[in-house]
């Protein structure tokens, strides 16, 4: 899903179907079977470059270089993670807390608190073999779009296949509840909608092209949800990150209205995006079926 071996590998596999990256036996021992690489043997222990560390198995961004510090423990150490990217699981013996990628469940290492290495008083002790790295100059060349158009499974299914899309993440946004669960969003008490965050390469596609696709893979005239999915979590919305994105969305809505479509899609400035549970990610890819409430209709 990523340049840096990860993106290029996944994008090369079956078009842009977002399959997990293949792992070597050594990588599988750590990432799949929760092993640990030898201390001071990993490539990122003394690594100092600016950029973003991603999951080797699925390409999800996990840690930023500014949060990396030297703990002299033998493994890369980070005192913070990218919001929602890392899941914590207590070990069965109750002695330690495992950390895994929230998207694919791949084993990363363990997290420790109270050691006072940094002001955040947290150390994510991560196996280098679980990571890939995107240099800052590469990461800065990507852009992000956030759309909500009914069940996020179907929106992701179509967006994943668009050339130029690097990663897709389904989640929740627009509401007030921090770290919402799917059950909480379904209770209609959080204000969140089901949405998709798309990281794309502006050299291969554009925000306008993705926004046009968004309007053609769901019904932007349905006010109460999408297809059989009724309720506020399924509303049609665009969460713009820049004034340029807002202007593009307004232009496209204007074109559709001139064509006679009674568009109800709302535009809101993007706020915090909360990644959904792992079983929601790449749902139709894993299930091997087609979306039940999304399909393509040419509108432009």
- Catalytic center residues: 125, 151
Q: Which helix (H) or strand (E) holds 90?
A: strand 86-90
Going across the sheet that includes 273-275, the strands are 266-269, 236-240, 143-149, 193-200, 165-173, 273-275
Where does residue 199 rank: exposed (0-12), middle (13-18), buried (19+ CB within 10 A)?
buried
Q: Distance of CA 266 to CAs 90, 221, 270, 288, 293, Å?
A: 41, 11, 12, 32, 20
What CA–CA distance (Å, rounded) separates 7 from 160?
13
Is 139 within 8 Å of 121 (Cβ atoms)?
no
Alpha carbon 247 to chain centroid, angstroms: 25
What CA–CA distance (Å, rounded) separates 221 from 240?
19
Count of beta carbons in the 10 Å neighbourhood of residue 166: 24
């Amino acid at each position: 899903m990523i340049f840096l071996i990860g993106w290029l590998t996944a994008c090369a596999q079956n078009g842009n179907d977002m399959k997990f990256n293949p792992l070597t036996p050594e990588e599988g021992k750590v990432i799949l079977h929760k092993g640990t690489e030898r201390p001071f043997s990993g490539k990122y222990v003394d690594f100092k470059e600016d950029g973003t560390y991603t999951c080797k198995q699925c390409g999800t961004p996990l840690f930023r270089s500014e949060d990396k510090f030297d703990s002299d423990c033998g493994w890369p150490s980070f005192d913070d993670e990218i919001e929602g990217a890392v899941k914590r699981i207590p070990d069965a013996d109750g002695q330690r807390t495992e950390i895994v990628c929230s998207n694919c469940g791949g084993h990363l290492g363990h997290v420790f608190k109270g050691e006072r290495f940094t002001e955040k008083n947290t150390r994510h002790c991560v196996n280098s073999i679980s990571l890939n790295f995107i240099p800052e100059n590469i990461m800065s060349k990507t852009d992000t779009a956030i759309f909500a158009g009914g069940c996020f499974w179907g929106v992701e299914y179509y967006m994943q296949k668009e050339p130029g899309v690097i990663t897709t993440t389904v989640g929740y946004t627009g509401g007030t509840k921090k770290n919402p669960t799917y059950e909480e969003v379904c209770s209609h008490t959080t204000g969140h909608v089901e949405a998709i965050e798309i990281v794309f390469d502006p050299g291969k596609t554009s925000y306008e092209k993705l926004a046009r696709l968004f309007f053609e893979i769901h019904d932007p005239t349905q006010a109460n949800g999408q297809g059989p999915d009724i309720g506020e979590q399924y509303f049609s919305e665009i969460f713009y990150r820049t004034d340029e994105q807002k202007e593009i969305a307004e232009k496209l809505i204007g074109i559709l209205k001139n064509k006679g479509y009674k568009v109800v899609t709302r535009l809101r400035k993007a706020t915090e995006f909360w990644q959904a549970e792992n079983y929601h990610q790449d749902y139709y890819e894993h299930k091997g079926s087609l979306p039940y409430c999304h399909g393509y209709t040419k509108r432009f």
